[in-house]
Amino acid sequence: MKRALNMGKHTSTSSALRSKLEALFRQPGVDRIIIGISDGCKHSRKDGDLKFQRQENKKLYLNGYGSAGVTRLVIILKDDANSENIKKWIEETNS
């Protein structure tokens, strides 16, 4: 799964967040997931939650919440047609 997630310099995430990212990668229309920088902080979200931040062209920017803090994520889509389905999937899996 390492090729699928296209990890850059920042590769460590909590196990709950990693399993959520692997499930997200299997969704139709997702081309790559890039794990960005992590900020160690306290938050009120569950370990493994994802929060949509913004969309630019074929990229979705998310925050991933883990036991150690917040991780920035970029989801590269194959096309814009599935972006609404991905956003809906994120909302449904956080509940």
* pLDDT score recorded for residue 2: 44
Banded pLDDT at 14 (limits 50, 70, 90): confident
CA–CA separation, 14 and 84 (whole Å): 26
Tens digit of each residue's pLDDT (9 = 90 or more) over 41-86: 777 788 888 999 999 989 999 999 888 889 899 999 998 888 899 9
Per-residue model confidence (pLDDT) at position 8: 52
Domain limits of the chain?
2-82
Residue 15 has a pLDDT of 81
Q: What one-letter code names the amino acid at 69?
A: G
d(CA 2, CA 17): 14
Whether residue 1 is predicted with pLDDT greater than 50 in this model: the reply is: no
Query: Span 25-47, mean pLDDT?
Result: 85
Are 57 and 48 in contact by the 8 Å Cβ rule? The answer is no
pLDDT at residue 18 tops 90:
no
